[in-house]
Amino acid sequence: MTGTVDPRIASARALLAEDHQPITMTPDELWHLLARTQRRVHELLELLDELWISSRAPAAERARRAAELLAEVPQSQRASNPEGDYASVLADLLANIGDDSAAAVRDWLRAARRLALTGPQREVQAQALGDAVTYRESGCDRACADCGTAPSGLCADHEADMDKADSYRALARTLGIEADL
């Protein structure tokens, strides 16, 4: 391996270095981040293919790398059935790559874990989005003087509140939050 870092690894590391706060991102921003992440993963997988073909570490080294990679995946996200434990299968596959590439993959796994919310965090987020929807819709059930003259039956302010409530629902769907919003 040369002293130069592959640009695909540099690109993935640059994305990981960015400070993302998913809870504050709009659905469009989340989709954009997901698309960028998917591109980086695709690039890393291409690199893995190249490295897989060119070299293979001794069995003990591959086992060590697999164990390190697998340690980055929380037990709660692992399947109880070894045949269905894709984290283990992926760790074994990735164990055949070089140390630099393995470090990049570990960084990716750590970043993915930072982006993921725990169950209690998801509950708080669902409650916050529910409260936001309730707040935005609360004034819309009482027509104001401007609502009475608006063609849609809602004034610009109340229409904006309804749009915001809809965007909060869309964000919940995007984040996979199951809530009655």
Torsion of CA 50, 56, 102, 59, to 10 degrees: 160
144: buried, middle or exposed (CB in 10 Å: 19+, 13-18, 0-12)? Answer: middle
CA distance 54 to 48: 10
**At residue 18, does pLDDT exceed 70?**
yes
Question: Residue type at 34?
Answer: L
* Predicted pLDDT at 144: 83
Q: Identify the residue with better confidence: 176 or 38.
A: 38
Read off the pLDDT of residues 92-145 as tens digits, 9 standing for 90 and up: 766 666 667 767 777 776 676 666 677 788 788 888 988 998 888 887 777 788
What tens digit of pLDDT does each residue of 151-180 get?
878 888 888 888 888 888 888 877 777 667
Query: Residue 83: which pLDDT band, with cuts at 50, 70 and 90?
Result: low
Task: Report residue 92 as tokens.
Answer: 């074994």
List the chain domain ranges.
Answer: 7-115, 119-174
Could you give the CA distance from residue 132 to residue 181 in angstroms, rounded to a whole number? Answer: 9
pLDDT at position 99: 66
pLDDT of 3: 66
- The confidence score (pLDDT) of residue 139 equals 76
Q: What mean pLDDT do residues 9-28 have?
A: 87
How large is the average pLDDT for residues 19-37? 86
pLDDT above 70: percentage of residues in the chain = 73
1 has pLDDT over 50: no
Give the pLDDT confidence score for residue 113 in this predicted structure.
65
Give start and end residues of each alpha helix (H) in 18-98.
27-54, 59-71, 86-94
- Burial (CB count <10 Å: 0-12, 13-18, 19+), residue 151: exposed
| 45: pLDDT strictly greater than 70 | yes
**136, 163, 174 from 32: Cα distances, Å:** 26, 21, 12
- The residues near 123 (Cβ < 8 Å, ≥ 6 apart) are none
Q: Return the pLDDT at 97.
A: 64
